[in-house]
Homo-oligomer: A and B are copies of this chain.
Amino acid sequence: MKKEKIEIAPECNEHIRGVRDTMSLLDGKWKTLIISHLYYVGKMRFMDLKRQVEGVASKTLSKELKDLELNRLITRTQNNTMPVSVDYELTEFGKSLHQIIDTMGAWGIRYREEILK
């Protein structure tokens, strides 16, 4: 039996690599959702995010935010308030993800019935 190796067109490979690169920034269970909240709501504080993103543990949220900041998708700003409050906000780079978020949101709305089966 001949081992027929699959041939993939270069432009497909480029797209697939694009998807892989994108996912490397969005991996983990919560990042996409966190970004969605920041995108639709705007600047948010840690506790607001924790309340809005249902189900995240503080530890996980904290870690995901650090990852996102490292990848320059969000900024972290500590306010001179008492007690300290911290704002998280999408960078321009982070905002450039809007098309992905919108597309996902629209798909989820459109296929909600199908998903819930």
Contacts and interface: CB of A to CB of B under 8 A. Distances in A.
A107 B99 contact: yes
Interface residues of A, number: 49
Interface string A50-70: 011000000000000000000
A55 to B, nearest CB: 10
Contacts of A14: 105, 109
A77 to B, nearest CB: 17
A72 B113 CA distance: 13
Count of chain copies: 2
Contact of A112 (B12, B18, B32, B109): B18
Q: Interface centre among A23, A29, A100, A108, by most B CB within 10 Å?
A: A108
B15 A40 contact: yes
B24 A36 contact: no
Contact of A41 (B8, B71, B93): B8
Contacts of A17: 108-109
Interface string A98-117: 01111111111101101111
8 contacts: A15-B105, A16-B37, A19-B101, A20-B33, A21-B111, A22-B115, A27-B29, A99-B107
